[in-house]
Structure 1
Amino acid sequence: MFAAFASIMEREFDTLVITYPSNTPLTYTALELLVLESLPTDRPFVLLGESFSGPIAISLSARQLPRQAGLVLCSTFGSVPTIYLRAKHDWVVPGTASALVSSMHRDTRIIEIEAPHFLLQVAPEEVARHIRGFLKTLDGT
């Protein structure tokens, strides 16, 4: 599902896609634990949460993980992002979600991408370009 996006990011960054089990329904708490146990402990990392995974990335970020250098949210809902990638033609998450996130955190940078909901799948090059630019502004990545 994320092969094109991961392939683009892997050109410059160590990339890890954490997949959720497709045969067992899990709660947000169980998914958060699955992600936490999969994160690197030996190097800095940036969490990226798309859609349903946004709240999980936000919750993990609230823990102030020692090696986490940043947070990227794509077409999701929640608060406390550093950048928010918004799909201009999103039919799942309304544009008001990014406005709400921005109102909760003044330093949020909203980047609008001419695409539908699944940004990582339909606009991997453009999303990767914005994330690369963001990652290059962070210390320790």
Structure 2
Amino acid sequence: MERAPTLCLLPGLDGTGRLYRHLARRLDEDFTVRVMAYDSGRFDGYAALADRIATQLPRDEDFVLIAESFAGPLAVELAGRRPPGLRALVLAASFVSSPLPASRLLAGVLAHMPAMLPPGLLLERLLAGRGAGGELRDELRAILRSIPTPVLRARALAALRSDAGGVLKALDLPVLYLEGTRDWLIGRHAGREVLRLARDAELHRIDAPHFLFQVSTAPAATAIVDFLKRRRLA
């Protein structure tokens, strides 16, 4: 039996990878898992971030990129560089362009406002719905305190202005899109766009809020493993 691909997990807006702890534990029963992290002190755009992450990807083995939320355009950017070992993409509660209605207009407004986060309770409900336990709430708050707000805003603005659809359309890779049925942040149009643009894509819905991997870890991990098995990558 061929060796299973390494799973490279690209975190969302926080960039720390700390919110992947439970998912990584589920997946490392069958795969080697690498949780990536971004520089918390700076953000110079998706292309520059891809330059840094590309040096950390496996060089002599097959791998799969798994990206949530903010990391969707990053994963597509990395895939567009045609790394030889890349075998598939998984995008969860994510997007390749325009994650919100009037995204670019919203970005223009936010760019001229002071850097600040929404109130904590509102942010938690938006991301995790009512399913956030105390551990997840505490971890999220600690992470947000550890990252400069201007860095978080710069990442959010880049996401709102992202446009990786053309790159995705040119890829010849299997793609799995995981959609949370209770995701009030990323609408269903994002998944439909991935299905429309990708040459070979599947959509799988999970009863979850935006924090799909954190709140519905088990069904998300199962969906990923089943997808890789169907594609004979596991």
TM-score, scaled relative to structure 1: 0.91
Q: Does 1:61 align with 2:79?
A: yes
Answer yes or no: is the 8 Å Cα contact 1:72–1:84 preserved in 2: yes
In structure 2, which of residues 174, 177, 184 is the aligned counterpart of residue 84 of structure 1?
177
Q: Which residue is equivalent to 1:99?
A: 192
**Larger CA deviation: 10-19 vs 61-70:** 61-70
Q: Which residue is equivalent to 2:30?
A: 12
**What is the rounded CA distance, in whole Å, between the counterparts of 1:87 and 1:140 in structure 2?**
24
Give how far 1:64 is off: 2.0
Aligned length: 141
Instruction: Name the Cα RMSD after superposition.
Output: 1.6
3-state SS of paired residue (2:35): coil
**What is the rounded CA distance, in whole Å, between the counterparts of 1:35 and 1:120 in structure 2?**
21
Q: Counterpart amino acid of 1:23?
A: G
Give how far 1:139 is off: 4.5
Q: Counterpart amino acid of 2:41?
A: N
Q: Counterpart amino acid of 1:57?
A: A
Give how far 1:23 is off: 2.5
Q: Which residue is equivalent to 2:89?
A: 71
Normalized per residue, the structure richer in helix is 2
**What is the rounded CA distance, in whole Å, between the counterparts of 1:140 and 1:129 in structure 2?**
14
3-state SS of paired residue (1:16): strand
In structure 1, which of residues 130, 137, 140 is the aligned counterpart of residue 223 of structure 2?
130
Unaligned runs of 5+ in 2: 1-18, 97-164, 169-173
Answer yes or no: is the 8 Å Cα contact 1:44–1:140 preserved in 2: no
**Larger CA deviation: 23-32 vs 34-43:** 23-32
Q: Deviations over 1:64-119 (max 9, x none)?
A: 21001111111111244611000111121111111122122363211011000011
Give how far 1:26 is off: 3.4
Give how far 1:138 is off: 3.4
Q: Give the % identical residues.
A: 35
Answer yes or no: is the 8 Å Cα contact 1:69–1:139 preserved in 2: no
**What is the rounded CA distance, in whole Å, between the counterparts of 1:86 and 1:128 in structure 2?**
13
Cα gap change, 1:140/1:66 in structure 2, threshold over 3 Å: closer, same or farther?
farther
Give how far 1:123 is off: 1.2
Answer yes or no: is the 8 Å Cα contact 1:69–1:138 preserved in 2: no
**What is the rounded CA distance, in whole Å, between the counterparts of 1:6 and 1:97 in structure 2?**
25
3-state SS of paired residue (1:6): helix
Answer yes or no: is the 8 Å Cα contact 2:43–2:49 preserved in 1: no
Q: Which residue is equivalent to 1:109?
A: 202
Q: Does 1:41 align with 2:59?
A: yes
Unaligned runs of 5+ in 1: none
Cα gap change, 1:140/1:101 in structure 2, threshold over 3 Å: closer, same or farther?
closer
Rg bigger for which structure? Answer: 2
